[in-house]
Amino acid sequence: MIHSTAAEMATKLAAGEISSVELTQQHLDRISVVDGQVHAFLYVDTEGALSQAAAVDAKRVAGEKLSPLAGVPLALKDVLTQKGIPTTCGSKILEGWRPPYDSTIVSKLKSAGIVILGKTNMDEFAMGSSTENSAYGPSHNPWDLTRIPGGSGGGSAASLAAFEAPLAMGTDTGGSIRQPAAVTGTVGVKPTYGGVSRYGLVAFSSSLDQAGPCARTVLDAALLHEAIAGYDPRDSTSINAPVPAVVAAAKKLDVKGMKIGIVKELSGDGYQAGVRSRFDEAIEELVNAGAEIVEVSCPNFEYALAAYYLIAPSEASSNLARFDSMRYGIRVGDDGVRGAEEVMKMTREVGFGKEVKRRIILGTYALSSGYYDAYYGSAQKVRTLITQDFAAAFSKADVLVSPTCPTTAFKIGEKSDDPLAMYLNDIATIPVNMAGIGGMSLPVGLAPEDGLPVGFQIMSPAMKDDLMYQVGGTLEAALLRKWGSPILSNAPALGAN
């Protein structure tokens, strides 16, 4: 039943119609058939997954009360630590590292009885929009294996679209959950900053990083969201407040009277024609469902990309200093004669890929004396202006919407030599991270010109994540009625040859 939703799987598990071991085995079988083509996984924990599944089955037989997703499998982005399981962040520098502790997210998944199938591929340290920056080779988009599955969380999104897992975990610093969701026809949610613990999430840009759920439906994402969210004393930036009721919101299927704001600056030139037409049709569906559409202007969003490519590299240059070859990861050149600093330099030369080096150097520059005010300082001011733009927009609308990305999935290799062109993928997703609010991408159809999925972004104010689930759930249901079957039923079958 790998083509079912996670919610359907949970119902069948609860009814005893299938065991978690059987369900997990079906997914492991699917992985062994298609992952040679997709390369969503960096590590598959066959034995661990089956033993987690058997433990859930035993509890169910014993009559224990289980959480809603108990027994449902999940794919974990390789930036989250899981005790004893290799965690590379897509980097050579962490090759072979087995963390001695679980991230809070993994602790929560385990206590919810969610079965972790393995670790998914990603751009190195989550820096990228295509998984081409993974030291272990790119993942492939199940819709067209010659195309990128987005990034950085392309492995997680591809695993969903290829039916290798019904749920996955992602992290989103500038769009790394939402953009892969958009280009693979899946759902991805970046919760409010601080809504999900960052403990055990290997840091890229600490003021922007946020983990969140990836799934094939809005309800599945909501179920996973509630399983992982909540206050964590181990994360000093964790919000100590109740988790928004996102599952109830996803089930409301009603947007009557809601005000939905179209962000003027996130449309028009630079957006593919098919992306624009599917976006407009989705807006019509929301109007038919009783929403009121308003146009809002966020004039400073045009500076968001520039500010992001100063703030994120600056924070990364500091965060990635921890990979110094002393406490974990690889060590290169330690011949008993060379000093620590030289060994450190040689290790980082070999261990980091091109994009990571580029960003560390850029960040080092932006933070250096003499340039700090002009670059990092100015970027922080832009961050204030973007937050003010959002505040003004949310005074006119309950949620804001835009296309998730300017284009559908591009070809592997098409942009890998042009960092600026690659960075443009994130133009519509970055403002959300800058302000720390919530953002969701859900599929709204295929672009007529290339037959590839188009993503629709919904943004909600901080700690009002329920609003984007309410709008997303309603739109998804309307589109499903129109299409008659889920979007992924149009994706090519894999593993045939």
Partner 1 sequence: MSAISRDEVAHLSRLARIEMTDSELDHLASELDLILGAVARVQEVAGADVPPTSHPLPLQNVFRPDVVTPSLTAAESLSGAPASAEQRFKVPQILGDAE
Write down the least CB distance from residue 154 to partner 1, Å. Answer: 23
Stretch 174-213: interaction string toward partner 1, x if CB under 8 A:
-------------------xx------------x------
User: Is 76:116 a contact under the CB 8 Å cutoff?
Assistant: yes
Q: Which of 325, 404, 408, 429 binds partner 1 (CB under 8 A)?
A: 325
Indicate whether 357 belongs to the interface with partner 1 (CB under 8 A): yes
User: Is 109:229 a contact under the CB 8 Å cutoff?
Assistant: no
Indicate whether 339 belongs to the interface with partner 1 (CB under 8 A): yes
Indicate whether 297 belongs to the interface with partner 1 (CB under 8 A): no
Indicate whether 345 belongs to the interface with partner 1 (CB under 8 A): yes
Find the catalytic residue in 19, 130, 134, 152.
152
Indicate whether 288 belongs to the interface with partner 1 (CB under 8 A): no
Q: Which of 37, 46, 387, 490 binds partner 1 (CB under 8 A)?
A: 387
Active site residue 176: yes
Indicate whether 101 belongs to the interface with partner 1 (CB under 8 A): yes
For partner 1 (CB under 8 A), the number of binding residues is: 70
Nearer to partner 1, 431 or 473 (CB): 431
Residues paired with residue 141 on neighbouring β-strands, in sequence order: 144
Indicate whether 306 belongs to the interface with partner 1 (CB under 8 A): yes
Indicate whether 241 belongs to the interface with partner 1 (CB under 8 A): no
Please identify, among the stretches 172-180, 212-220, 270-278, 306-314, the one whose residues bind partner 1 according to the rule CB under 8 A.
Answer: 306-314
Write down the least CB distance from residue 375 to partner 1, Å. Answer: 7
Q: Which of 241, 248, 287, 326 binds partner 1 (CB under 8 A)?
A: 326
Find the catalytic residue in 19, 20, 77, 91.
77
Indicate whether 270 belongs to the interface with partner 1 (CB under 8 A): no
Active site residue 318: no
Q: Which residues of 360-386 are buried (b: 16+ CB within 10 A; e: fewer)?
A: bebbbbbbeeeeeeebbebbeebbebb
Q: Which of 2, 33, 145, 385 binds partner 1 (CB under 8 A)?
A: 385
Indicate whether 368 belongs to the interface with partner 1 (CB under 8 A): yes
Write down the least CB distance from residue 142 to partner 1, Å. Answer: 32
Q: Is 214 exposed, middle or buried (0-12, 13-18, 19+ CB in 10 A)?
A: buried
Active site residue 395: no
Nearer to partner 1, 440 or 478 (CB): 440
Nearer to partner 1, 163 or 375 (CB): 375
Q: How far apart are CA 212 and CA 218, in angstroms?
A: 13
Please identify, among the stretches 32-40, 58-66, 329-337, 478-486, the one whose residues bind partner 1 according to the rule CB under 8 A.
Answer: 329-337
Indicate whether 39 belongs to the interface with partner 1 (CB under 8 A): no
Active-site residue set: 77, 152, 176
Binding site for partner 1 (CB under 8 A): 97-101, 193-194, 207, 233, 236-237, 239, 300, 303, 306-307, 309-310, 317, 321, 324-331, 334, 336-346, 348-349, 352, 357-358, 360-362, 364-365, 368, 374-375, 377-385, 387, 419-420, 434-437, 462
